[in-house]
Protein backbone atom coordinates (compact mmCIF):
# COMPACT_ATOMS: atom_id res chain seq x y z
CA UNK A 1 0.00 0.00 0.00
CA UNK A 2 2.82 2.37 0.92
CA UNK A 3 4.59 1.59 -2.36
CA UNK A 4 1.39 2.35 -4.30
CA UNK A 5 1.08 5.72 -2.54
CA UNK A 6 4.66 6.56 -3.47
CA UNK A 7 4.06 5.69 -7.09
CA UNK A 8 0.93 7.77 -7.35
CA UNK A 9 2.24 10.79 -5.46
CA UNK A 10 2.77 13.88 -7.59
CA UNK A 11 5.72 16.18 -6.96
CA UNK A 12 4.73 19.78 -7.57
CA UNK A 13 7.75 21.43 -5.92
CA UNK A 14 10.27 23.59 -7.72
CA UNK A 15 13.33 21.54 -8.66
CA UNK A 16 16.71 22.73 -9.83
CA UNK A 17 18.01 21.22 -13.08
CA UNK A 18 21.02 18.93 -12.97
CA UNK A 19 24.70 19.63 -12.68
CA UNK A 20 25.80 22.79 -14.41
CA UNK A 21 22.28 24.19 -14.55
CA UNK A 22 20.49 26.66 -12.35
CA UNK A 23 23.47 28.93 -13.09
CA UNK A 24 24.36 31.38 -15.81
CA UNK A 25 24.56 35.14 -15.72
CA UNK A 26 21.56 37.34 -15.14
CA UNK A 27 19.02 38.00 -12.43
CA UNK A 28 15.80 36.74 -14.07
CA UNK A 29 14.90 33.10 -13.27
CA UNK A 30 13.87 30.79 -16.11
CA UNK A 31 11.69 27.78 -15.29
CA UNK A 32 10.62 24.68 -17.14
CA UNK A 33 7.00 23.87 -16.29
CA UNK A 34 6.38 20.16 -16.84
CA UNK A 35 2.91 18.69 -17.37
CA UNK A 36 1.55 15.15 -17.44
CA UNK A 37 -0.16 14.23 -20.71
CA UNK A 38 -1.48 10.91 -19.42
CA UNK A 39 -2.42 9.51 -15.98
CA UNK A 40 0.09 6.73 -16.71
CA UNK A 41 2.78 9.24 -15.71
CA UNK A 42 1.78 8.80 -12.07
CA UNK A 43 3.55 5.44 -12.22
CA UNK A 44 6.03 5.96 -15.06
CA UNK A 45 7.59 9.07 -13.50
CA UNK A 46 9.23 7.03 -10.76
CA UNK A 47 10.69 4.68 -13.38
CA UNK A 48 12.29 7.54 -15.30
CA UNK A 49 9.62 7.34 -17.99
CA UNK A 50 6.47 9.27 -18.82
CA UNK A 51 4.96 11.41 -21.58
CA UNK A 52 5.27 15.11 -20.87
CA UNK A 53 4.33 18.51 -22.22
CA UNK A 54 6.51 21.43 -21.17
CA UNK A 55 6.67 25.20 -21.36
CA UNK A 56 9.36 27.78 -20.57
CA UNK A 57 8.42 30.42 -18.00
CA UNK A 58 10.20 33.78 -17.92
CA UNK A 59 9.01 37.23 -16.85
CA UNK A 60 5.72 35.74 -15.69
CA UNK A 61 4.81 34.30 -19.10
CA UNK A 62 4.88 30.66 -20.18
CA UNK A 63 5.89 29.89 -23.77
CA UNK A 64 5.22 26.50 -25.37
CA UNK A 65 4.98 24.78 -28.75
CA UNK A 66 2.19 22.61 -30.14
CA UNK A 67 1.02 20.98 -33.34
CA UNK A 68 -1.63 22.21 -35.78
CA UNK A 69 -2.22 21.83 -39.51
CA UNK A 70 -1.24 25.32 -40.66
CA UNK A 71 2.13 26.76 -41.80
CA UNK A 72 2.01 29.40 -39.05
CA UNK A 73 3.88 29.24 -35.78
CA UNK A 74 2.97 26.66 -33.18
CA UNK A 75 4.41 28.75 -30.34
CA UNK A 76 1.82 29.97 -27.87
CA UNK A 77 1.95 31.81 -24.58
CA UNK A 78 -0.18 31.69 -21.48
CA UNK A 79 -0.41 31.81 -17.72
CA UNK A 80 2.36 29.78 -16.06
CA UNK A 81 1.49 26.29 -14.80
CA UNK A 82 -2.04 26.44 -16.23
CA UNK A 83 -1.80 25.07 -19.77
CA UNK A 84 -5.24 23.80 -20.76
CA UNK A 85 -5.52 20.09 -21.47
CA UNK A 86 -2.54 19.03 -19.35
CA UNK A 87 -1.92 18.33 -15.66
CA UNK A 88 0.82 20.41 -14.07
CA UNK A 89 3.49 18.26 -12.41
CA UNK A 90 6.42 20.44 -11.41
CA UNK A 91 8.52 23.52 -12.14
CA UNK A 92 12.27 23.16 -12.69
CA UNK A 93 14.68 26.08 -12.35
CA UNK A 94 16.72 26.00 -15.55
CA UNK A 95 18.95 28.96 -14.78
CA UNK A 96 19.06 32.73 -14.97
CA UNK A 97 18.98 35.15 -17.86
CA UNK A 98 19.90 38.74 -18.67
CA UNK A 99 17.09 38.96 -21.23
CA UNK A 100 14.53 41.65 -20.50
CA UNK A 101 10.86 41.13 -21.36
CA UNK A 102 11.30 42.79 -24.77
CA UNK A 103 14.38 40.66 -25.48
CA UNK A 104 12.43 37.49 -24.69
CA UNK A 105 9.63 38.60 -26.98
CA UNK A 106 12.12 39.23 -29.78
CA UNK A 107 13.62 35.76 -29.24
CA UNK A 108 10.17 34.20 -29.52
CA UNK A 109 9.60 36.09 -32.76
CA UNK A 110 12.79 34.53 -34.12
CA UNK A 111 11.86 31.04 -32.94
CA UNK A 112 8.35 31.49 -34.37
CA UNK A 113 9.83 31.34 -37.86
CA UNK A 114 11.27 27.89 -37.14
CA UNK A 115 8.63 26.29 -34.92
CA UNK A 116 5.58 26.11 -37.16
CA UNK A 117 2.55 24.08 -36.18
CA UNK A 118 2.60 21.83 -39.22
CA UNK A 119 6.31 21.11 -38.68
CA UNK A 120 5.70 19.42 -35.32
CA UNK A 121 7.58 16.13 -35.22
CA UNK A 122 7.84 13.72 -32.31
CA UNK A 123 11.47 12.82 -32.90
CA UNK A 124 12.98 16.13 -33.99
CA UNK A 125 10.67 19.01 -33.13
CA UNK A 126 8.16 18.64 -30.30
CA UNK A 127 7.24 20.88 -27.36
CA UNK A 128 10.22 19.71 -25.33
CA UNK A 129 12.66 20.36 -28.18
CA UNK A 130 11.32 23.91 -28.33
CA UNK A 131 11.79 24.37 -24.59
CA UNK A 132 15.33 23.06 -24.80
CA UNK A 133 16.11 25.45 -27.66
CA UNK A 134 14.65 28.40 -25.75
CA UNK A 135 16.44 27.41 -22.54
CA UNK A 136 19.82 27.26 -24.26
CA UNK A 137 19.22 30.69 -25.79
CA UNK A 138 18.10 32.19 -22.47
CA UNK A 139 20.37 30.49 -19.94
CA UNK A 140 22.93 28.39 -21.81
CA UNK A 141 21.51 25.28 -20.10
CA UNK A 142 19.64 22.27 -21.50
CA UNK A 143 16.41 20.94 -20.05
CA UNK A 144 16.64 17.64 -18.08
CA UNK A 145 16.90 14.69 -20.45
CA UNK A 146 14.09 12.70 -18.78
CA UNK A 147 11.49 15.25 -19.92
CA UNK A 148 11.92 14.19 -23.55
CA UNK A 149 13.17 10.62 -23.14
CA UNK A 150 10.15 8.83 -24.62
CA UNK A 151 10.19 11.03 -27.71
CA UNK A 152 13.65 9.72 -28.50
CA UNK A 153 12.41 6.13 -28.47
CA UNK A 154 9.35 6.93 -30.56
CA UNK A 155 6.43 6.80 -28.08
CA UNK A 156 3.95 9.43 -29.26
CA UNK A 157 1.45 11.57 -27.51
CA UNK A 158 1.19 14.80 -29.53
CA UNK A 159 1.09 18.15 -27.79
CA UNK A 160 -1.65 20.07 -29.58
CA UNK A 161 -2.40 23.74 -29.13
CA UNK A 162 -5.21 24.20 -26.59
CA UNK A 163 -8.58 25.11 -28.09
CA UNK A 164 -8.86 28.21 -25.89
CA UNK A 165 -6.21 30.18 -27.73
CA UNK A 166 -6.59 32.97 -30.24
CA UNK A 167 -4.16 34.14 -32.89
CA UNK A 168 -2.22 37.30 -32.11
CA UNK A 169 0.23 39.06 -34.36
CA UNK A 170 3.98 38.96 -33.75
CA UNK A 171 5.68 41.66 -35.75
CA UNK A 172 9.34 42.46 -36.17
CA UNK A 173 10.07 45.60 -34.17
CA UNK A 174 12.12 47.64 -36.61
CA UNK A 175 12.32 51.24 -35.49
CA UNK A 176 11.48 52.65 -38.92
CA UNK A 177 8.32 50.52 -39.10
CA UNK A 178 7.21 50.91 -35.50
CA UNK A 179 4.29 53.21 -36.19
CA UNK A 180 3.03 50.97 -38.99
CA UNK A 181 2.88 48.05 -36.58
CA UNK A 182 0.33 49.70 -34.30
CA UNK A 183 -3.11 48.24 -35.09
CA UNK A 184 -5.75 50.90 -34.59
CA UNK A 185 -8.89 49.24 -35.93
CA UNK A 186 -10.38 45.76 -35.90
CA UNK A 187 -10.39 45.70 -39.69
CA UNK A 188 -6.65 46.38 -39.77
CA UNK A 189 -6.18 43.58 -37.24
CA UNK A 190 -8.06 41.11 -39.45
CA UNK A 191 -5.96 42.14 -42.44
CA UNK A 192 -2.76 41.73 -40.44
CA UNK A 193 -3.67 38.22 -39.39
CA UNK A 194 -4.29 37.14 -42.97
CA UNK A 195 -0.72 37.75 -44.09
CA UNK A 196 2.72 36.32 -43.29
CA UNK A 197 1.50 33.35 -41.25
CA UNK A 198 5.05 32.49 -40.25
CA UNK A 199 5.15 35.60 -38.04
CA UNK A 200 2.12 34.78 -35.90
CA UNK A 201 2.00 33.49 -32.38
CA UNK A 202 -0.95 32.25 -30.36
CA UNK A 203 -1.80 33.71 -27.01
CA UNK A 204 -3.90 32.07 -24.35
CA UNK A 205 -7.19 33.79 -23.50
CA UNK A 206 -7.40 34.18 -19.74
CA UNK A 207 -10.22 35.92 -17.83
CA UNK A 208 -9.34 39.15 -16.06
CA UNK A 209 -10.01 39.15 -12.32
Residues forming the active site: 53, 127
Residue 18 Ramachandran class (φ > 0 left, ψ -120 to 50 alpha, else beta): beta
Yes or no: say if 62 and 32 are a contact pair by the CB < 8 Å rule. Answer: no
Residues facing 67 on adjacent strands: 160
Yes or no: say if 149 and 117 are a contact pair by the CB < 8 Å rule. Answer: no
CA distances from 66 to 47, 117, 153, 177, 204 (A): 26, 6, 19, 30, 13
Amino acid sequence: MLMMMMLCRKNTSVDVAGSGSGSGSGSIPVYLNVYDITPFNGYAYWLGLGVYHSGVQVHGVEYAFGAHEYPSTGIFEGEPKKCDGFIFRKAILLGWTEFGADDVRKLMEELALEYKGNAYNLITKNCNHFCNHASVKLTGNHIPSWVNRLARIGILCNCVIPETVTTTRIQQRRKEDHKKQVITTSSNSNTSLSSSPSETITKSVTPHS
